[in-house]
Structure formats: structure tokens, C-alpha cells
Amino acid sequence: MILMALNSFTALGNPLGGNPTDGYCQTVDGSACGWGGGSSSSRRVYKVPNRWGAIYVNPANAAIGYSENNTEGYRSANKEALANCIKAGGGKNPIASDGKGCRRMTEVRNSCSAVAIGGVVGNGGAGVKSDDNLEKAEQKALAACSEYSDKCVIKYSGCSRHPDY
């Protein structure tokens, strides 16, 4: 009975729900737990401007079209990349054996991407990968391409993000 009364007293004696030195303290304002906070320290919130990009590839003629740093949205980035793929193919969009011409390989937002191509036109391989880091995107694209072909080389790599971030 005395033990139960002591436990009740302890719970009432600490209305915040814990000792800050124990690592758990429940309160809206962290300064009450000894964590600083309050009005003296403010958090910064950054609004990163979005940039979109896309890569299209036509396996029938190895044409590559891309869009980067498009500020209008993913649809606009895809439309631009498709138009660039057709333009890279000499204004033509020949149909590959699977019945498709230029096709979207990737789209990104605030990220980097790379395309690697190997082999010969019509009988080669391609790898397209994205990453926050351009060099890693290139390495991943080369690795993906090498699963299908040899002598893979980066044909395009770039980042779609605001230059300040």
C-alpha cells in the first residue's frame, strides 16, 4: 500500500511524464525538458523549387531525347524530352521490333539521371538510372547497360534541380 502511494506520488510529482536526463520528456515546448527550444530558437523551413527532367530513347535508331530543369511540371518535361528524341532521330520516330518508337525511360524531380548505351543500333542495350548524385547515376546506368550489352558508354547525364540546392 505504501509502495503504491509512492508510485502515485512520483507520477503526480512529474506532470511532464519523465525526467529530461532519462531521455524522455513529453511536452509541446522542449525548453521545459531542458532541450532548449521555446521562442529563442526557431527552425528554418526551406522551400526547394521543383525542377523536372525526363529521358526518352528510341532503340530502333539509338536516338536520345532529354529535358532538364523544366519548371512547368513532369508533363511538360516529358513532352519536351519526346520532341527532342524525335528531333535527335532526324525528325523521324521509327518503330522498333516491339512496335514502339521513342519511349520514356525515366522522369525525375530534383534529381540526376544518366543513360548508357552499348552494342550496335538495333541489337544493343541501354541502361537509364537516377540518383541524387550525378556520378552515382552514371555508374548505375553503366552497370544496368552492361547486363544487356558490352562497351557501354554514357550518352547523356544531367541533373534537374535548382542551382542553389
pLDDT digits (tens, 9 = 90+) for 145-154: 999 888 999 9
Integer Cα distance of 28 and 142 in angstroms: 50
Per-residue pLDDT, 127 = 93
Write the burial class of residue 37 (CB in 10 Å: 0-12 exposed, 13-18 middle, 19+ buried): middle
Per-residue pLDDT, 41 = 62
51, 109 in Cβ contact below 8 A?
yes
Q: Which residues of the chain have pLDDT under 50?
A: 1-27
Per-residue pLDDT, 27 = 47
Domain residue ranges in the chain: 52-160
128, 55 in Cβ contact below 8 A?
yes
Integer Cα distance of 128 and 44 in angstroms: 35
Per-residue pLDDT, 24 = 44
DSSP E strands, 35-152? 52-58, 63-70, 103-109, 111-120, 123-131
Integer Cα distance of 131 and 122 in angstroms: 28
Integer Cα distance of 141 and 151 in angstroms: 13
Per-residue pLDDT, 156 = 96
Per-residue pLDDT, 123 = 76
pTM for the model: 0.67
Per-residue pLDDT, 4 = 43
